[in-house]
Structure 1
């Protein structure tokens, strides 16, 4: 297609797009301008918008870059106008060095498009749509549109394998926000991002996705400088006060054989690594890999299959007994889910962490609670000796202000005595969630539902957690258990003994989970621990097998 036809076609499309302000689409506009730039050998197209002449002099107006190949420029065609009430707009088209000069016809056509864009800027401003067209957010950070354009420019430059991409968010920034206030914390964030922009310049950028979530694009050779910022640096505020800000990040180092097709190819990979970093499974810095991409595909499959599995009642509830260490009787059990799908029994490790990334985990928790209540009701009706059953509830529930009412609705619908239900809440929470955890535990206790703090000993605020929240039961994580029966002076044995003593002194029932040996059982008894749970006694059991254990009531292996 010759240049005359191309110009007519693009000009018509551009005119239709920018004159329909009711359905103005900046992405479509940019794409047409990008095609025009390529057709007319324009290596960079920019429209600058200033509220007044002083802003123009200082260079602090709004800059809309529709296309930038990154090449060194040799010539510019500029079209400038002063709109009503002293608003200045300037449209510029650049030609790269070494590229054939424009013909007179090409110049006139470029100037025609520039005048059209200046008219559009005036109309957008009059209609309040300038912000929609900008590549920066209200706080001055470059936005996703700018990031998308930058990735595309680098991707089509032929040098993308020289770059790295990092998606990151500021660790515990909600706490900093709460402590310092919005205005001061925004300033601290701006200073922190400035240090990262300094590290990636002049060839990189930092764009904000929203809140305290950002993406950095930089040359691989700058990786160590960027990582140093992610690990944490002190940021000053209020004339000398300082706060340490750090980040968790997913990083994608573009391999040499990477084939670029579209920005989403890169964002998918860096986001997968970021999600792994956010979960904290493998540290605060996670690098993208083919394994992570496979993990993402598996996650998407789990998400797609979960609603069907829930509807078809594919999730089974298994019960792991809790043993009274004084007489080896069954004192309770923990309800644990298993997913029976397509003839295969999936263990929780294969799907729980995926469901935890969404609110789907909350649906599963209530599904398990309902199955537990159904089984308890049947046991009571059959005259079996029912025991207290604990159900795990994710931290995701803490934002639900009606959580206690929802739990009680299920329990009361099956007419289950409240003391037969225990809700396990993990202690691995940030102090931002602490108040919600305290509210939920307190409300459940007032309703007569038992509460337990799960995995005690692996969180950062364990003692504070049991000091301020009125639990009934403390479950000590298996990593905290002693391993050597004959080494009472070992640090781990001493710590465990004092944890049990402290729990009992403040009125908590102490449960040790992950018990695997007779030696551990003997230590637990010496320490005065109340209950034990683990493979030494039983693995999680299908309901029928657990009912057989209930009928026997006692274990005879110790």
Structure 2
């Protein structure tokens, strides 16, 4: 039987299986497949026919030892038994994304010796659930493949980021259903227009992208001109709007950012971040506009992207260290407490600013787990000091108001206290900015519940905003300490207005029977004046910088 006849026979066999993606391989390597397999893999038919089975299908590693299993081993096993072999594996799709499947493999001699593989989809994270376009995972794997080896890199690779301006107004005006339909229609339009450029994806919300990888046969100048012309076309097209449900014609402006690959780019993140930066520049205009990214890498955005990607794992694996800044009684210099400050030494970025990772934690909604992680670490440390025979002092922990207003917060704190058996008399929670608090009733209940547990409450950065005054007015009976913000301390020795303002806050503390702790004390003059004003406690570089655990324990021993 000739090769053509064999191919026809294989195709006839595979067409018998129209329900599940099916791949048939003859013993001489020829292949046939049905349309569900083609749809699942999204490869061109010629690629499937020309590729080895190992390029298309992976076997999941053995759970016992984690060693990879060659698909050829499975094929040989299937030859030796009558019933199908079922195993977990992956189809590597056109975007080089591994799609998890349960795979059934059987061998038959008739009409020609062959194996038949059927694929039952388990999960595919690379498809957007709203638009059914490939998503950010698909982009990351395809672009990552290009950057993994110089031989893979196509000429004139680029990324276009497309953002629909003020998309949220569609949801508010027409409802979320219309909003989803608009995203789907927009995605289909973008995919159609960009079919000759490359892969269209939906990254998130109203942010789409086109990974340009089909202009490799053009000169660099030609490719750039085509990309800019495409940007111009999209801007003009946005003016016509999109019709939804034959009821609404919705017109939205677009902000586009284009980044063309540079030889010194290390990975696809630089491509994405530079395109995002250019898109944000375009968003400054009130009409559809596009910007070409600067060829230089945007270090700020690049570093932030790394922190966003790795913070969840850092919290899960407790990769943060604590530093302890001592707090002293002003009139006699006695150590009365520490403020626990989190530090993150990243393997690549080095020291990560606490301002950055705390801000990112709140953006990602991980402030709750982060704050609880710090509470647990502090309780663990206090217990260790007790076991060493040291006399611990109170330790202050910063708690985001977003954490404090969550209904399960106090319950989780109680779990930590029970598990670690930490005496609450050594704990103080510092509350920061609360002007954006949404659940004031729960916030109030949680503050009182913490007080009932024996945990002290401090107001951090007091004197810098109306929200701090609101807290005092609403919860002063539950509060123990006001922390005078460092910005109010800087000029008290040379500015009478600053001095009077600080004095008023100290006097307010006396009226409300609250202790006052000054932050950011850096000179002997500041310390002396604060003591004269009646401020009880202070911390700052004049006394000590934040100390590592060795220096902290040395200080505790010296205070015995």
TM-score, normalised via structure 2 length: 0.51
Correspondence list, 1:283-302, <5 A:
289=297, 291=299, 292-293=301-302
Residue 322 (str. 1) matches residue 327 (str. 2): yes
Residue 19 (str. 1) matches residue 15 (str. 2): no
State the distance in 1 between where 2:441 and 2:413 align.
19
Residues 424-481 of structure 1, C-alpha deviations (whole Å, 9 max, x = no match): 2432774347665444323212322112233446678444444445543333443453
2:378 is matched with 369
Q: Of residues 343, 346, 357 in structure 2, which corresponds to 1:353?
A: 357
Correspondence list, 1:54-133, <5 A:
none
- Indicate if the aligned counterparts of 2:489 and 2:518 stay in contact, CA closer than 8 A: yes
Cα 1:267–1:540, aligned 2, differ >3 Å: closer, same or farther?
Answer: closer
State the distance in 2 between where 1:250 and 1:322 align.
51
- Measured after TM superposition, the shift of residue 370 of structure 1 is 2.3
Correspondence list, 1:464-475, <5 A:
464-469=470-475, 470-475=478-483
Q: Of residues 428, 452, 459 in structure 1, which corresponds to 2:458?
A: 452
Residue 521 (str. 1) matches residue 555 (str. 2): no
Considering only aligned residues, what root-mean-square deviation do their CA atoms show, in Å? 6.5
1:486 is matched with 494
State the distance in 1 between where 2:410 and 2:155 align.
56
Residues 45-79 of structure 1, C-alpha deviations (whole Å, 9 max, x = no match): xxxxxxxxxxxxxxxxxxxxxx9xxxxxxxxxxxx
State the distance in 2 between where 1:274 and 1:484 align.
44
Of 507-516 and 160-169, more deviation after overlay is shown by 160-169
- Measured after TM superposition, the shift of residue 340 of structure 1 is 9.2
- Indicate if the aligned counterparts of 1:423 and 1:450 stay in contact, CA closer than 8 A: yes
Correspondence list, 1:387-398, <5 A:
387-393=393-399, 397-398=403-404
SS across alignment from 1:392 = strand
1:215 is matched with 208
- Measured after TM superposition, the shift of residue 298 of structure 1 is 7.5
- Measured after TM superposition, the shift of residue 256 of structure 1 is 5.4
State the distance in 1 between where 2:431 and 2:9 align.
63
Cα 1:417–1:302, aligned 2, differ >3 Å: closer, same or farther?
Answer: closer
TM-score, normalised via structure 1 length: 0.51
- Indicate if the aligned counterparts of 2:162 and 2:257 stay in contact, CA closer than 8 A: yes
State the distance in 1 between where 2:311 and 2:396 align.
25
Cα 1:486–1:397, aligned 2, differ >3 Å: closer, same or farther?
Answer: closer
2:79 is matched with none
2:536 is matched with 530
- Indicate if the aligned counterparts of 2:203 and 2:209 stay in contact, CA closer than 8 A: no
- Measured after TM superposition, the shift of residue 5 of structure 1 is 9.8
Q: Of residues 26, 33, 39 in structure 2, which corresponds to 1:29?
A: 39
- Measured after TM superposition, the shift of residue 537 of structure 1 is 0.8
Residue 270 (str. 1) matches residue 278 (str. 2): no
Residues 225-279 of structure 1, C-alpha deviations (whole Å, 9 max, x = no match): 999xxxxxxxxxxxxxxxxx999x996733455999xxxx75785379979x99x
Cα 1:455–1:200, aligned 2, differ >3 Å: closer, same or farther?
Answer: farther
Correspondence list, 1:367-516, <5 A:
367-375=376-384, 377-378=386-387, 384=391, 386-393=392-399, 397-398=403-404, 401-411=407-417, 417-427=423-433, 430-432=436-438, 437-456=443-462, 461-469=467-475, 470-483=478-491, 485-489=493-497, 496-502=502-508, 504-516=510-522
- Indicate if the aligned counterparts of 1:251 and 1:270 stay in contact, CA closer than 8 A: no
- Measured after TM superposition, the shift of residue 183 of structure 1 is 6.9
The aligned length equals: 413
Q: List alignment gaps of at least 5 residues for structure 2.
A: 24-33, 50-93, 95-120, 147-151, 212-226, 236-251, 281-290
Residues 325-351 of structure 1, C-alpha deviations (whole Å, 9 max, x = no match): 344332222234567999xxx867489
- Measured after TM superposition, the shift of residue 19 of structure 1 is 2.6
SS across alignment from 1:534 = coil
Which of the two has greater helix per residue? 1
State the distance in 2 between where 1:226 and 1:484 align.
58
- Measured after TM superposition, the shift of residue 322 of structure 1 is 1.2
State the distance in 2 between where 1:146 and 1:300 align.
13
State the distance in 1 between where 2:346 and 2:270 align.
28
SS across alignment from 1:332 = strand
State the distance in 2 between where 1:200 and 1:456 align.
53
2:545 is matched with 539
- Indicate if the aligned counterparts of 2:484 and 2:517 stay in contact, CA closer than 8 A: yes
2:161 is matched with 165
- Measured after TM superposition, the shift of residue 539 of structure 1 is 1.8
- Indicate if the aligned counterparts of 2:459 and 2:468 stay in contact, CA closer than 8 A: no
Cα 1:206–1:34, aligned 2, differ >3 Å: closer, same or farther?
Answer: closer
Residues 279-320 of structure 1, C-alpha deviations (whole Å, 9 max, x = no match): xxxxxx99993645566567777876776776xxxx765432
